[in-house]
Amino acid sequence: MLAAMSNAPPVKILAAELETSASAVGGFPAEGPPEVALLGRSNVGKSSLLNRLVQRRSLARTSKTPGRTRLLNFFLVRWPEGELRIVDLPGYGWARVGKGERREWQALVESYLAKRASLRLALLLHDVRRDPGDDERDLVAWLAQRGVPVRGVLTKLDRLSARERAARLARFREHGLGLDWIPTSARTGAGLDLLWREIERAVRESTN
Ligand code: GDP
């Protein structure tokens, strides 16, 4: 399924900051505000989307500096609903069979995803021009098994003509791993309001 575009006003972000980066479970901040996890292969447009979501030009740069690619980055966002954490999980879910450091990294992220009580929603970012592959399929199955709610976010929508867009969106409706996909562009801001609505809904459902 694909969400329809809307023209709702943007969410008002009162503050956003990198709260902490963690390389081990012990470094995670105490459970508290509801959390939304961002998943996506590198270059999918995750930093750009995060910056656009929280209306800060370069907040997510920090997560791209060398050394931070193996850290979970917790961003604390204040919005009219209260506080929210957006948790960036760089590179998780791809090339799952690795050795040493990579396996450790996977284990750390998996323990976050499987055990974090504050986690409300995982967003799987995916380039609208690519078809989902085995990595995406495995990840979605893994999350489903553990009962983690997941939504798909299609990135870089602006790279397509209107005609191509219609064709790609139809394809995701048919072959989109059964996910709800929200088409977005960090460049134009398309779909960001819908994405916020999804986040609001996930947070509200969990507090009701
Ligand atoms: P990350 O590695 O997933 O954090 O990806 P980045 O946010 O750094 O983006 C990777 C590349 O894609 C950069 O060159 C961005 O300028 C570009 N990019 C990201 N989002 C968009 C978008 O919505 N539209 C277009 N046209 N390019 C984008």
8 located within any domain:
no
Predicted pLDDT of residue 117: 96
Domain ranges, residue 54: 15-207
Considering the domain boundaries, does residue 169 fall inside one?
A: yes
Is 108 domain-assigned? yes
For the Cβ of 118 lying below 6 angstroms from any atom of ligand 1, the answer is no
7 assigned to some structural domain: no
Ligand 1 centre to CA of 45 (Å) is 4
Q: Is the CB of 187 within 6 Å of ligand 1? A: yes
Model-level pTM? 0.91
Name the domain count of the chain. Answer: 1
Q: How far is CA 198 from CA 112, 130, 156, 164, 202, in A?
A: 21, 23, 19, 25, 6
Residue 3 domain flag: no
Q: 159 in ligand 1 pocket by Cβ < 6 Å?
A: yes
Please report whether residue 153 resides in a domain: yes
Q: Is residue 9 domain-resident?
A: no
Whether 47 lines ligand 1, by a CB cut-off of 6 Å, is yes
User: Mean pLDDT in runs of 10 for the chain (208 residues)?
Assistant: 55 91 94 96 91 85 59 93 92 63 82 95 97 92 94 98 96 94 96 94 78
Which ligand 1 atom sits closest to the C-alpha of 60? 4
Position 98 scores a pLDDT of: 60
Q: What is the dihedral of CA 127, 165, 184, 106, to 10 degrees?
A: -20
> Residue 10: CA atoms inside 13 Å, Cβ hemisphere, count?
11
pLDDT tens, 160-190?
999 999 999 999 999 999 999 999 999 999 9
Query: How many whole angstroms separate alpha carbon 74 and alpha carbon 19?
Result: 6
Is residue 4 domain-resident?
no
Residue nearest to atom 10 of ligand 1 (CA): 43
- The DSSP 8-state label assigned to residue 111 in this structure reads H
Q: CA of 76: how far to CAs of 16, 20, 35, 96, in Å?
A: 6, 9, 9, 29
CATH classification of the domain holding 82: 3.40.50.300
Report which residue type is found at 110.
E
